[in-house]
């Protein structure tokens, strides 16, 4: 329905303009996430500035935007409520150290184990979360929602909806914003359509003196430059025991969201980011942010989509967004405070449309059923819990399905060779999922005195496979027969050698073949 025309080449003009657009969208998001975490708006704004600036300079994915996010805020709220904001700053510092360690030890490469259905579920789930987060702008503040008294009271959809003229004005401005963003690129791409939409709707509201809420109605963003601040917490083991579990969870969520967003930007721009460098960049950013009174953050898929769709490709776009945000905080807060919330909601709705993988509906009946199940599962878990749990659940389910499917692929063919030995030829992987099927295919009582198991078409992958071979050897030993293994790969031999006495078999040497080599070819 909506097709974004993406430029693949970075330009200073596009980076500057897209960075400015992102900065405008960062303000209400940072303020909203600060409220979610239970801290002052400036704590969220400082995080958006510092995390965004540092990751843009030293991170591994130019064009990706980082800042305060809802995925982290929902974890922080319990810590702030129980121990105060100073413990949050200490936790953010430790979170950054853990993320730096992940990058130094090159753990970013493990993002490649995330299957494509999990990636689709992650994107769809985040799109739904971004959409639901905007619904609060259609409600009256400090009023009981329409679901009061039910089990859904206090949920994201429990809103005291505005009515009458206010609702129609809000919907009209949201629709106008979306229409400008959608159709302006058909006329010109000289300036980002999202920026034009925000400016046009703001001028319309001011010119017609429309009664609608603006950013200044939500919070005052005026403030000074962030100052160095060592968290005021006792440096004791007790403090570490309090903040470490939160820091570990925040570090995991931050890296998962950042690396998955990195992959998404890679696909959109047809370029490749550096995962381990991004881990270090995120870690340095959060460590510094915690020392300057910020709530920490990670990559933001919504703002990254705004940046990419607006033409932002280089590091300059993220730097511009961060520095523009700082200028807004220091000197331009009165201008930002007059922007209608409806304009920002319209921008985020376009982000939702562009983020959601609508093709997933089309391919649902064409992909394997277990992949479709994983896609839906990850989307749902992302909405109802958080990103880290959703991705972990998706990877685990995908791994279990993979193991189950490959467990059915092990085949054993029995024959007798000219020397009178019973030969079993194995085809398929031997691991924890296939060992039962493997063991049931052998008949020691019926076999000849000499038995050969040929692994030319198989591999032993884990300890369960070794144990199954050991159990098989015991069966043939009790039957008074000799068991040999043939055509083991070097990896399998290494496993058997390391296993030592665990495996009681005679490994037959594989034949070596001379290979003709034409070095001039």
Considering only CA atoms, which of 481, 438, 490, 491 is closest in space to residue 506?
Answer: 481
Judge if 368 and 434 occupy the same domain.
no
Judge if 427 and 316 occupy the same domain.
no
Are 236 and 90 a contacting pair, CB within 8 Å? no
Can you name the residues that pair with 452 across neighbouring β-strands?
A: 423, 484
Residue 145 falls inside a structural domain:
no
Write the pLDDT tens digit of every residue in 408-458: 778 899 999 888 899 999 998 888 888 888 888 899 989 999 999 888 888
The reported pLDDT for the residue numbered 497 is: 62
Which two tokens mark 288? 């510094």
Residue 180 falls inside a structural domain:
no
At 518, the pLDDT band (50, 70, 90 cuts) reads: very low
At 156, the pLDDT band (50, 70, 90 cuts) reads: low
Q: DSSP code of 296?
A: -
Which two tokens mark 12? 């200073």
Judge if 278 and 419 occupy the same domain.
no
The reported pLDDT for the residue numbered 155 is: 61
Between CA 60 and CA 259 the distance in angstroms is 10
Are 498 and 490 a contacting pair, CB within 8 Å? no
In this model, does residue 233 exceed pLDDT 90?
A: yes
Mean pLDDT over residues 129-151, rounded? 72
Residue 348 falls inside a structural domain:
no
Torsion 274-277-283-287 (CA) sign: negative
The domain boundary residue, chosen from 363, 382, 401: 382
In this model, does residue 498 exceed pLDDT 70?
A: no
The reported pLDDT for the residue numbered 352 is: 82
Judge if 217 and 327 occupy the same domain.
yes
Mean pLDDT over residues 52-79, rounded? 89
Judge if 51 and 122 occupy the same domain.
yes
Judge if 358 and 493 occupy the same domain.
no
Are 387 and 122 a contacting pair, CB within 8 Å? yes
Q: DSSP code of 340?
A: B
Are 391 and 381 a contacting pair, CB within 8 Å? no
CATH number, domain with residue 430: 3.30.750.24
The reported pLDDT for the residue numbered 157 is: 67
Instruction: Output helix, strand, coil percentages for the chain, rounded to the nearest 5.
Output: 60, 10, 30
DSSP letter string over 194-208?
HHHHHHHHHHHHHHH
The domain boundary residue, chosen from 361, 382, 403: 382
Between CA 218 and CA 513 the distance in angstroms is 76
**Residue 34: partners with Cβ closer than 8 Å, 6 or more residues away:** 40, 41, 42, 43, 44, 45, 68, 73, 295
The reported pLDDT for the residue numbered 365 is: 83
Q: pLDDT over 90 for what percent of the chain?
A: 26
Residue 147 falls inside a structural domain:
no
Judge if 308 and 228 occupy the same domain.
yes
Can you name the residues that pair with 457 across neighbouring β-strands?
A: 427
At 519, the pLDDT band (50, 70, 90 cuts) reads: very low
Average pLDDT, the chain: 83
Angle at the Cα of 508 (from 504 to 514), degrees rounded to 5? 155
Are 428 and 434 a contacting pair, CB within 8 Å? yes
Number of C-beta neighbours around residue 190 at 10 A: 10
Are 80 and 88 a contacting pair, CB within 8 Å? yes
Residue 277 falls inside a structural domain:
yes
At 2, the pLDDT band (50, 70, 90 cuts) reads: very low
Q: DSSP code of 515?
A: -
The reported pLDDT for the residue numbered 389 is: 81
The reported pLDDT for the residue numbered 239 is: 94
Between CA 434 and CA 465 the distance in angstroms is 8
pTM, two decimal places: 0.70
Considering only CA atoms, which of 521, 477, 485 is closest in space to residue 506?
Answer: 485
Are 285 and 27 a contacting pair, CB within 8 Å? no
Residue 101 falls inside a structural domain:
yes
Number of C-beta neighbours around residue 90 at 10 A: 26
Residue 235 falls inside a structural domain:
yes
Between CA 474 and CA 483 the distance in angstroms is 10
Judge if 236 and 310 occupy the same domain.
yes
Judge if 360 and 417 occupy the same domain.
no
Are 350 and 194 a contacting pair, CB within 8 Å? yes
The reported pLDDT for the residue numbered 496 is: 67
Write the pLDDT tens digit of every residue in 83-137: 999 999 999 999 999 999 999 998 877 777 778 888 888 788 878 877 887 787 8
b/e sequence 417-430, b meaning 16+ C-beta within 10 Å: eeeebbbbbbebbb
Judge if 452 and 305 occupy the same domain.
no
Residue 157 falls inside a structural domain:
no
Are 340 and 202 a contacting pair, CB within 8 Å? yes
Between CA 396 and CA 385 the distance in angstroms is 16
Q: What is the dihedral of CA 24, 179, 137, 300, to 10 degrees?
A: -50
Judge if 64 and 18 occupy the same domain.
yes
Top-confidence residue, 153 or 494: 494
Q: How many domains does the chain have?
A: 2
Tell me phi and psi for residue 40, to 5 degrees: -70, 150
Judge if 302 and 363 occupy the same domain.
yes
Domain span at residue 487? 411-507
The reported pLDDT for the residue numbered 153 is: 60
Are 147 and 153 a contacting pair, CB within 8 Å? yes
């Amino acid at each position: 329905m909506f097709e974004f025309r993406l430029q693949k080449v970075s330009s200073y003009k596009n980076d500057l303009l897209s960075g400015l657009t992102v900065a405008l969208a960062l303000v209400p998001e940072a303020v909203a996430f600060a409220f979610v975490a239970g801290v002052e708006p400036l704590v969220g704004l400082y995080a958006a500035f510092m995390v965004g600036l540092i990751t843009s300079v030293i991170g591994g994915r130019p064009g990706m935007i980082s800042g305060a996010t809802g995925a982290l805020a929902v974890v922080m709220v319990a810590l702030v409520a129980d121990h105060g904001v100073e413990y949050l700053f200490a936790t953010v510092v430790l979170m950054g150290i853990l993320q730096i360690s992940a990058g130094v030890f090159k753990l970013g490469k493990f993002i490649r184990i995330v299957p494509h259905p999990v990636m689709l579920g992650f994107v769809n789930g985040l799109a739904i979360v971004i959409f639901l987060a905007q619904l609060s702008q259609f409600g009256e503040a400090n009023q009981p929602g329409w679901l009061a008294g039910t089990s859904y009271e206090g949920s994201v959809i429990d809103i005291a909806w505005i009515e009458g003229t206010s609702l129609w004005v809000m919907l009209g401005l949201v629709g106008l914003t979306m229409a400008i963003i959608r159709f302006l690129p058909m006329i010109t791409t000289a300036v980002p359509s999202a920026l034009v939409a925000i400016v046009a709707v703001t001028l319309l509201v001011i010119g017609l003196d429309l009664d609608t809420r603006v950013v200044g109605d939500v919070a005052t963003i005026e403030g000074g430059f962030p100052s160095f601040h060592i968290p005021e917490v006792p440096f004791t083991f007790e403090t570490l025991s309090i903040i470490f579990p939160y820091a570990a969870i925040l570090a995991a969520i931050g890296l998962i969201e950042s690396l998955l967003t990195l992959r998404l930007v890679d696909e959109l721009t047809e370029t490749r980011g550096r995962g381990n460098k991004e881990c270090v960049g995120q870690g340095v950013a959060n460590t510094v942010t915690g020392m300057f009174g910020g709530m920490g953050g990670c990559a933001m898929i919504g703002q990254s989509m705004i940046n990419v769709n607006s033409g932002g490709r280089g590091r300059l776009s993220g730097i511009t967004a961060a520095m523009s945000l700082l200028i807004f905080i220091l000197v331009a807060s009165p201008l930002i405070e007059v922007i209608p919330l409806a304009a920002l909601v319209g921008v985020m709705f376009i982000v939702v449309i562009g983020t959601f993988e609508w093709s997933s509906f089309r391919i649902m009946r064409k992909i394997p059923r277990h992949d479709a199940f994983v896609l839906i599962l990850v989307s749902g878990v992302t909405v109802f819990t958080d990103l880290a749990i959703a991705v972990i659940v998706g990877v685990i389910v995908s791994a279990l399905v993979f193991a189950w499917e490959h467990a059915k692929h092990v085949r054993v063919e029995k024959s007798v060779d000219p020397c009178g030995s019973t030969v079993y030829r194995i085809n398929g992987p031997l691991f924890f999922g296939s060992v039962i099927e493997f063991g049931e295919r052998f008949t020691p009582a019926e076999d000849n005195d000499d038995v050969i198991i040929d692994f030319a078409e198989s591999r032993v992958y884990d300890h369960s496979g070794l144990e199954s071979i050991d159990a098989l050897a015991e069966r043939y030993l009790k039957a008074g027969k000799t068991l040999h293994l043939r055509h083991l790969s070097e990896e399998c031999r290494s496993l058997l050698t390391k296993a030592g006495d665990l495996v009681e078999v005679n490994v037959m040497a594989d034949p070596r073949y001379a290979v003709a080599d034409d070095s001039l070819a």
